[in-house]
Amino acid sequence: MEKMKEAYESILIVSCKNGEEAIAEVVGKFKKMIETGATLDSVEEWGKRKLAYMINKESEGYYVLFNFTCDAEFPAELDRVYNITDGVLRSLIVKRIEKSEAPAVVKTTEAPEAVETAEADAE
């Protein structure tokens, strides 16, 4: 039976303290890993940005967004490798929901006479 493929996205924040070569090495490592274990849809390198708060005494990080499609087991392995790799400050992997799959939010309002009837029934 063929495994179900799902769409995921992952944001990776790489430490800037080791220089541009170290950043390129870490990004290349994960790009290659994702290409090997999944179908890499896109890579967006957002570049160096100021962090919202200090992480390991660093105020800047290099942000990268990976969009990929894979089976359900791969994100756990990717997360494990993120956690043991030097130079990775933070990472996040989430399952993408296509707009057609997103639940619709329906706001309903009751008619005033329905509220009056409900109050009368409660008494």
Name the residue ranges covered by the structural domains of the chain.
Answer: 6-122
Rounded (10°) angle between helices 74-84 and 20-37: 160
| pTM for the structure as a whole | 0.76
Mean pLDDT in runs of 10 for the chain (123 residues)? 82 94 95 94 94 93 96 94 94 86 60 55 59
Q: How far apart are CA 53 and CA 97, in angstroms?
A: 29
What was the pLDDT predicted at 3? Answer: 72
pLDDT score for 97: 84
CA distance to 3, 55, 57, 62, 69, per residue, from 17 (Å): 40, 12, 10, 10, 31
* Amino acid (1-letter code) at residue 8: Y
Q: Which fold has domain 6-122?
A: Alpha-Beta Plaits (3.30.70)
pLDDT of residue 1: 47
CA distances from 86 to 11, 42, 52, 71, 105 (A): 16, 24, 21, 26, 42
Quickly count: other Cβ atoms within 10 Å of residue 102's Cβ.
8
